[in-house]
Amino acid sequence: MLEADFVIVGSGSAGSAMAYRLSEDGRHSVIVIEYGGTDIGPLIQMPSALSIPLNMPRYDWGFASEPEPHLGGRVLATPRGKVLGGSSSINGMVYVRGHARDFDHWAEQGATGWSYADVLPYFKRMEHSHGGEDGWRGTDGPLHVQRGTRKNPLYAAFVDAGREAGFELTDDYNGSKQEGFGPMEQTIHRGRRWSTANAYLRPALKRKNVRLVNGFARKVVIENLRAVGVEIETRGKIEVVRAKREVIIAASSINSPKILMLSGIGPAQHLKDHGIAVVADRPGVGANLQDHLELYIQQESIKPITLNSVLNPWSKALIGARWMLFKSGLGATNHFESAAFVRSAAGVDYPDIQFHFIPAAVRYDGKSAAKSHGFQAHVGPMRSKSRGTVTLRSPDPKEKPVIRFNYMSHPDDWADFRHCIRLTREIFGQAAFDPFRGKEISPGSYVQTDAELDAFIRDHAESALHPSGTCRMGKASDPMAVVDPECRVIGVEDLRVADSSIFPRITNGNLNGPSIMTGEKAADHILGRQPLAPSNQKPWINPRWQVSDR
């Protein structure tokens, strides 16, 4: 019989962390349900191959948005990991904690106990930082975090250009000071992708009290308002994996609300429309969907030093061979090795724009490279006011949900994005880039007016693949909250959600780090442990924030 104390749906960033922590003392049995297959193989483990698994049906759920009305009706891909390690096995391996103020905002929104002081000890517990700021970083956790070698001179040029433009520098944006230009951090260890499958799940599966069950989660089995198991489809038949203590959903900000709704937890009328009996009327399930959008601002390089020279089959074969043999070279990095977090205007107290810098002019999905040598910054606003929804397409669990991001639906988003483009041009125009700068590839120097920039944004803005917020955490009395500050689903006993879907508001930067932290902290709540003692460390806030953007 498939039965354990704790049944976790999803082996991703939060799910693997919880499997590791819940089983650590050997007193509790854990079953992890994962529909995807193995993550073993170079396409996932080799960092520079990151664009390949992102688009493979074998590793990705294959979700896409509905036509986005404010982006000219474009349909945007919404990849989510369908593989051991979940999205941490197909992501860009960029490691960002988020800004201290993000978590203070969570606490203000009703997520009591999730302020920066509360979550910092969990970030430290999970990390094994190589090169981070002393006293602010963990040094013996399961998650290895490193910096790239930054051998290409363009990485230094980007940071120098930021300084020349008057912005701050930071040697560790995950330490005391996020604001500024500096090195980017990676979840890469010894040349391999350091996913949560490698960091957490494999060590956990070596324990006698942890089992991995391959199956498709259809719904939570609820009896008398209490979760008692998970109905799965495996090898063509339907079974129930029973939970003696609790069911924990960690299936992503797309699949977690879908599973709740299929289980009768969600907006009552929407459930009734699909013939699903209402167990708990929670209108917040599937609401509050957020993401980061970004643009690729590309510049030609007049020196042939960019990655565009190694995008031919022969060079790729050599890079792959070196990686296979030695786990080193260009195959052992995600190529995101310089970064920046800056504020868009005076009066903004902490960064609201993120830059990823890469010494190549190429699409994230790897499908098209520029004709010439080039470099690019991925840039976008961090705190869009637009909100979307995830809803059911039908009561059939196999049907993909309806995803409406509603991108760019708030007028402020347009002004923010125009500023991002002009700011990137200002940085690329600094003296540090003089030895390298050719003509602007994208958008192109002829794109200047607000209307021209808006047309470029409408046609070219891409998801940074950070969907979140669809099972928002808040006070139990908040009608739009789905889980309380201990991740318990409001209105149903012995059921929790712990992944990026519970974020009240999206954090600054990439979401893998905060998602793992969520799993770490949720595990202590699930076990009824006293949370780690709050930190008294005070993050750096720019003393000029009221008068200047830099």
Q: Does 5 carry a binding-site annotation?
A: yes
- Cis bond upstream, residue 443 (ω within 30): yes
352 is in an annotated binding site: no
Question: Any idea which of 188-202, 361-375, 457-471 has the lowest mean pLDDT?
Answer: 361-375
Q: Is 25 annotated as a binding residue?
A: yes
What per-residue confidence (pLDDT) applies to 307? 94
Is 20 annotated among the ligand-binding residues?
A: yes
Query: Is the CA virtual torsion 152, 162, 130, 468 positive or negative?
Result: negative
Mean pLDDT of 286-310: 96
Tens-digit pLDDT profile for residues 303-346: 999 999 998 999 999 999 999 999 999 999 999 999 999 999 99
Alpha-carbon distance 262 to 527, whole Å?
27
* pLDDT digits 0-9 by tens, 128-140: 999 999 999 999 9
pLDDT at 415 (0 to 100)? 98
Alpha helices, DSSP H, located in 192-312: 196, 202-205, 252-262, 268-273
Q: How far apart are CA 533 and CA 508, in angstroms?
A: 24
Please return the burial class of 304, using the count of CB atoms within 10 Å of its CB with bins 0-12, 13-18 and 19+: exposed
φ and ψ of 44, to 5 deg: -95, -45
Model pLDDT, residue 536? 98
Domains and CATH numbers, the chain: 1-147+186-290+387-408+466-532 (3.50.50.60), 149-183+293-381+409-460 (3.30.410.40)
Residue 372 pLDDT class (50, 70, 90 cuts):
confident
Catalytic residue among 144, 292, 335, 466: 466
Q: What is the mean pLDDT of residues 267-296?
A: 98
Q: With contact defined as beta carbons under 8 Å apart, do 514 and 505 qualify?
A: no
Check the annotation: does 94 bind a ligand. yes
So what's the pLDDT on residue 505? Answer: 98
Short-list 505, 501, 67, 507, CA closest to 282: 501
Q: Is 23 one of the annotated binding-site residues?
A: yes
- As a whole number, mean pLDDT of residues 15-29 equals 98
Specify the DSSP element, H or E, that contains 242.
strand 237-249
Would you place residue 364 in the very low, low, confident or very high pLDDT band (cuts 50, 70, 90)?
A: low
Q: State percent of the chain over pLDDT 70.
A: 99
CB atoms under 10 Å from CB of 216, counted, come to: 16
pLDDT tens-digit map of 160-200: 999 999 999 999 999 999 999 999 999 999 999 999 999 99
Say yes or no to pLDDT of 367 above 70.
no
Residue 365: pLDDT over 70: no
Residue 483 confidence (pLDDT): 98
pLDDT score at 379 = 98
The answer to whether residue 128 is catalytic is no
483 belongs to an annotated ligand binding site? no
Residue 363 is labelled as binding a ligand = no
> Average model confidence (pLDDT) for the chain?
97
Query: Which pLDDT belongs to residue 368?
Result: 66
The SS3 call for residue 213 is strand
115-122 average pLDDT score: 98
Q: What is the pLDDT of residue 366?
A: 61
Question: What is the per-residue pLDDT for 276?
Answer: 98
Instruction: Please report which confidence band the pLDDT of residue 43 belongs to, taking 50, 70 and 90 as the band edges.
Output: very high
DSSP 359-425: SS-B-TTSS-B-SS-EEEEEEEES-----BEEE-S-S-TTSPPEEE--TT-SHHHHHHHHHHHHHHH
Structure tokens at 406: 């509603």
Task: Residue 346: count other Cβ atoms within 10 Å of its Cβ.
Answer: 12
Confirm if 169 and 70 have CB atoms less than 8 A apart: no
What pLDDT sits at residue 542?
A: 98
What number is the average pLDDT over the span 70-97? 98
Q: Is the model's pLDDT at 362 over the cut of 90? A: no
pLDDT of residue 371: 82
Q: Do the annotations mark residue 241 as ligand-binding?
A: no
Residue 107 has pLDDT above 80, yes or no: yes
Enter the pTM of the model. 0.98
Determine if residue 40 is labeled as part of a ligand binding site: no
